[in-house]
Structure 1
Amino acid sequence: MKMILKRLLLALPNLIGVIIVTFVLTRALPGDPAAYFAGAAATPEAVEQVRVKLGLDRPLPEQFLHYVVDLAHGDWGSSLATGQKVTTEIAARLPASLELTLCGLLLAVSIALPLGVLAATRPNSWADHGVRVLTTMGVSLPTFFTGLLLVYIFYYKLGWAASPNGRLDAFVTSPPTVTGFYLIDSLLIGDLAVFWATLKQLILPTVTMALFVLAPLARMTRASMLGVLSSDFVRTARASGLTPGTVLYTYALRNALLPVLTTMGMVFSFLLGSNVLVEKVFAWPGIGSFAIESLVASDYAPVQGFVLSMALLYVVLNLLIDLAYTWLDPRVSLDG
């Protein structure tokens, strides 16, 4: 627990830097929120009244101090577009983004790990070259293009997939909110119809995200496995008469997972922060699409809230990765 608190304290300077940089950059963006929300027909006097009401007429240092004080009291501001608290909007939309991101990461890992192990155990074979080609194809295509292509083929042409209109079909009622994850919440109430409806909506966006991150995961698994398989302790395990499966999965794969775990953390952070394109293609009501809409409207508070929430999630993710290190290899210390 002491080491966990130490890691959290070490993350404070990063969070402070994120708050400062985000505040400055949002104010440097082109556009005037007061003019946007006053309307195109508003007079200069009306625009100035809106600016005063929003506090945008104050000097930047005073605005920043007011923002920091509000943060210290748990107030992330309000969205000018919706009129709701930013924390309320993020709490409502973040589970949708997390559910999509986690499903994409789980699918990518379930495919990348076996492919990486296969390529490492058969270096320079047709299987190895095939894995390289497959993963390179996935990372070469932009996510929005992959999503549109999957929608065109599997929804428009073949009719196999669900319509890309959000987390649920318009004729299905969302489950009562417990975790915010529709897959889990539908199972908690035993509603398999909602579960399957949610799963069908998740298939295409999940595949879209998984294809894009297959390459780094599979390549890191291959490279790490090649290094471990040539190590002395693996040779000793083989010489001791252990079965190939025991040597491969109990000894080699577990030791090779440390760099793969680091890559998974970076991939997850990337997916969570950049899945806005996938959310737009599939009309997914996540935090990324909300941030883009706020950015277009020069709505400062939601954009700042989005960046801050991503920074907090990144801190938590790094802490979980550190804990996973100690589980995979007890020789790894959180003090390091």
Structure 2
Amino acid sequence: MVKTLVDRLLTTIPALIGVVVISFLLTRVLPGDTASYFAGPAATPQAIAEVRKQLGLDKSLPEQFLRYVGDLAHGHLGQSLTTGQSVVSDLASRLPASAELTLFGLFLALVIAIPLGVAAAVRQGSWIDHACRIIATAGVSLPVFFTGLILVYVFYFVLQWAPAPLGRLDVFASAPPTVTGFYLIDSLIAGDLETFRAALAQILVPGITLAIFSLAPIARITRASMLSVLSSEFVRTARASGLGPRTVIVTYALRNALLPVVTTLGMVFSFLLGANVLVEKVFAWPGVGSYAVEALIASDFAPVQGFVLAMAILYVALNLIIDLAYGLIDPRVRSSS
């Protein structure tokens, strides 16, 4: 297991280097002049040139890149010109909000998609199977921002079941003491059920928005994997041995069908990282996605580069966890590695 972990970590180094280089180059070719934006509309050319010199933008691209890499080596991601804070502190304060929303949406998707995919495979051709196909098609067809706006209109404006989509908590609730940065978990640790209910009410609609977007591929791959496993020899042998349908499906079929599902989670998580940016803007969620969009509009390079690097590290870390989970699901993978 340790050897597998080291091998996976070594393979991620080239990917992270590529992310650093590409994010640096892309931010330099974006339209807009950072110096002109922060100097103000009435600034003179001399003032703009002075701001450009202070930001180090008067240097050549190789010099700017070497300076950026040197800062990264010291754990410094630069200074955000829009907030006046370091990018590291901004990301540290906003990342728990994005992580909580993404994981909550992924959890809802798993709770719905895996049982739905299993039921669709077991009852192939039934109304459950058709419903699974319709839900999967709708999930991948509807843009995530459109789904979010529809849910806001229905649950907040029409039915008035959900609170105003304005952040992680309403104005009458206070944040719980920070332990994990996740309001749902921190409020339970503090025993504050009122804050827990307020945080759950705020995260429910954006979480459902992400769940609708992500449950489609999970449900489809679960159904396809279960159909393949249910037609295998060892499942027919288990049924012929007199085992009950529940034991055959849960103990034998589902466990062997989980490997493709776990693989799909890495892809779904990468989708959610992109969709999270739009959902955060729709629901005024104070996460890293909205932070990156605001910095992008202002041509603020450092937060955008920090956001891309943080998302790449999260993606690599999740895929590493998925690789290690293979050995827990299927011992043959652990023995071969």
1:215 maps to which residue? 216
Alignment of 1:1-336 (within 5 A): 1-333=2-334
CA distance, structure 2, for counterparts of residue 90 and residue 130 of structure 1 = 40
CA distance, structure 1, for counterparts of residue 18 and residue 335 of structure 2 = 24
Listed as ranges, the gaps of 5+ residues in structure 2 are none
CA distance, structure 2, for counterparts of residue 58 and residue 311 of structure 1 = 27
CA distance, structure 1, for counterparts of residue 185 and residue 247 of structure 2 = 34
Q: CA shift at 1:10, angstroms?
A: 1.2
CA distance, structure 2, for counterparts of residue 328 and residue 278 of structure 1 = 33
Count of residues paired in the alignment = 336
CA distance, structure 2, for counterparts of residue 305 and residue 224 of structure 1 = 38
Q: Are the equivalent residues in 2 in contact too, given 1:103–1:206 (CA < 8 A)?
A: yes
Structure 1-normalised TM-score?
A: 0.98
Q: SS of the residue aligned with 1:212?
A: helix
Give the RMSD, CA atoms, in angstroms. 1.1
Q: Are the equivalent residues in 2 in contact too, given 1:77–1:85 (CA < 8 A)?
A: yes
Q: CA shift at 1:334, angstroms?
A: 8.3
Q: SS of the residue aligned with 1:332?
A: helix
Provide, for residues 273-327 of structure 1, a one-character-per-residue CA deviation record: whole Å limited to 9, x for no partner.
Answer: 3311110111000101110111111100000000100111111111100111100
CA distance, structure 1, for counterparts of residue 303 and residue 290 of structure 2 = 11
Whichever residue aligns with residue 121 of structure 2, its letter is A
Listed as ranges, the gaps of 5+ residues in structure 1 are none
Q: Are the equivalent residues in 2 in contact too, given 1:35–1:47 (CA < 8 A)?
A: yes
CA distance, structure 2, for counterparts of residue 125 and residue 3 of structure 1 = 43
Q: SS of the residue aligned with 2:332?
A: coil
Provide, for residues 163-188 of structure 1, a one-character-per-residue CA deviation record: whole Å limited to 9, x for no partner.
Answer: 10000001111111111100011111
CA distance, structure 1, for counterparts of residue 141 and residue 11 of structure 2 = 36
Q: CA shift at 1:64, angstroms?
A: 0.3
Q: SS of the residue aligned with 1:283?
A: coil
Structure 2-normalised TM-score?
A: 0.98
Whichever residue aligns with residue 261 of structure 2, its letter is V
Task: Mark the CA change 1:196 to 1:91 in structure 2 (over 3 Å): closer, same or farther.
Answer: same
CA distance, structure 1, for counterparts of residue 59 and residue 174 of structure 2 = 46
Identity, % of aligned positions:
67
Whichever residue aligns with residue 72 of structure 2, its letter is L
Q: Hey, which bits of structure 1, 4+ residues long, moved more than 2 A?
A: 333-336
Q: SS of the residue aligned with 2:54?
A: helix
CA distance, structure 1, for counterparts of residue 11 and residue 215 of structure 2 = 32
Provide, for residues 5-33 of structure 1, a one-character-per-residue CA deviation record: whole Å limited to 9, x for no partner.
Answer: 22111110110011001101100111110
Q: Are the equivalent residues in 1 in contact too, given 2:5–2:324 (CA < 8 A)?
A: no
Q: Are the equivalent residues in 2 in contact too, given 1:273–1:310 (CA < 8 A)?
A: no
